[in-house]
Amino acid sequence: MLQTLKNAWRVEEIRRKILFTLFMILLFRLGNAIPTPYINTVLLGQYFNSSRINNTILGLYNVMSGSAFSMGTVFALSIQPYINASIIIQLLTIAIPALERMSKEGGEEGKRKLENITRYSTVGIALLQSYGYYVILKTNNILSQTGVWPAIIVIATLVAGSCLVMWMGEQITEFGIGNGISIILFAGIIARVPVTFVNMVNTLLSAGSNWKIYVVYPLMILGGLVMIVLIVIVTNAERRIPVMYSKRVVGRKVYGGQSTHLPLKVNMSGVLPVIFAGSIASLPATVGMFFGKTAESSGGWGTFLGLFSQTSVLYMVLYFLLIIFFSYFYSTIQFNPIEVSNNLMKNGGYIPGFRPGKPTSAFISKVLNKVTLFGAIYLAIIALVPLIVGAISETASNTGISVGGTSLIIVVGVALETVRGLEAQLVMRNYKGFLE
């Protein structure tokens, strides 16, 4: 990886792209430090600390935004509205025939139309989320001034900040290195690492005779390294189905006759099942936060929220089952065995030992189900290990480790994707062609 970066830096064009990407990341971090007008950031920080947002959907938003959500900056919504809009449009493309035709048969023009629809949807989602954010601020007396004008300013600032982050991501994709949206998400998560490290050091310095802390933190670091290795292995893993192409004579030329393979990624759905599962499993805690209730509250609220707290067995079982469900759901949307089988048959391809058509699609479905199950269990392990550690150690729980697995998957995945992009550009520039 370091050698790839070193070689890429020597190429002037790639060096300009790297510098442009770093400049956009710098602007993103500067925007995360600019407070939104009329928001009392001190009270906002106290409210989020007392409400334990790490156990709610807002905690996930806070991690993805690099803590900008809990600081009330202009980039508080970060890239979340665009990610939500992209997922919604992707699901609607499967459900609505007109959008499906636009994506498959529309070519570049169809892709541009879908991108425009996604941008408009991003603005609409940003409006809804910024209004909900304003309601939280107003309800808990976090605004320095109330009224129509402050409401307009706060909502407009948050929406404009989200749109600006979306534009920055698109600029990185076009003129920089890697996928811009992923890079922005990567920068937001990595920005929390220094703060977390400082908190761990301060905790160790103030531990005194509490020997448990000296045992928990080294184990957490060692476990994080093991999880990174596991994520790298599974991210690059794939199940290759052999495919043969029969020879075809077209005019005086003979086509086909070669063997290749059909790759099925083990973790085909990425981190989306974990995000979906975490959002749904955290709904009770999120609703309780809006009413000022926690698992420690007395009465029915405390009992109900205690059942769905991240340290409870019920929550972990529900979380595990939701990850399995969304892994199968998303792999079904992404990969259609019948369509792949038909494409192979049209191009003269076949899987050895299986007749073209229905037997081929049935075999691909069987393999896909096995691969998806393995990938889903892997995601569940990565997501549940931090929760189990947090349940065992209150110190680990207080550091916000509950979203550590999700963050690790995103960070490692984006890093691998960016390095692969750099390697592809280096190979393209070093290829001399047939005339040299």
Biggest distance spanned by C-alpha atoms of the chain: 85
The pLDDT assigned to 433 comes to 43
- One fold for 1-191 and 218-399: yes
Kindly list the domain boundaries of the chain, sorted by start residue. 1-191, 218-399
pLDDT tens for the chain, residues 1 to 436: 667 777 777 778 888 888 999 999 999 999 888 999 998 888 888 887 766 666 677 777 887 887 888 888 999 888 888 988 888 888 888 778 888 787 776 677 888 888 889 899 999 999 998 998 898 888 888 888 888 998 999 999 999 999 999 999 999 988 888 888 888 888 888 887 777 777 777 766 776 666 666 676 777 778 778 888 888 888 888 888 888 877 666 666 665 567 788 888 888 877 888 888 888 888 887 777 777 676 667 777 777 777 777 778 888 888 899 999 988 888 888 788 888 888 888 877 888 888 888 888 889 899 989 999 998 998 888 888 877 776 766 544 444 455 567 788 888 888 888 888 887 777 776 654 434 4
Which CATH number does the domain 1-191 belong to among 3.40.50.300, 1.10.3370.10, 3.40.30.10, 3.40.50.850? 1.10.3370.10
* CATH fold label, 218-399: Preprotein translocase SecY subunit (1.10.3370)
Contacts of 107 (CB under 8 A, 6+ apart): none
Q: Are 32 and 64 in contact (CB under 8 A)?
A: no
The pLDDT assigned to 155 comes to 93
| Residues forming a β-bridge with 239 | 264
Q: Are 408 and 205 in contact (CB under 8 A)?
A: no
Judged by DSSP in three states, 353 sits in coil
> What single DSSP character describes residue 39?
B
Token pair belonging to 308: 């769905």
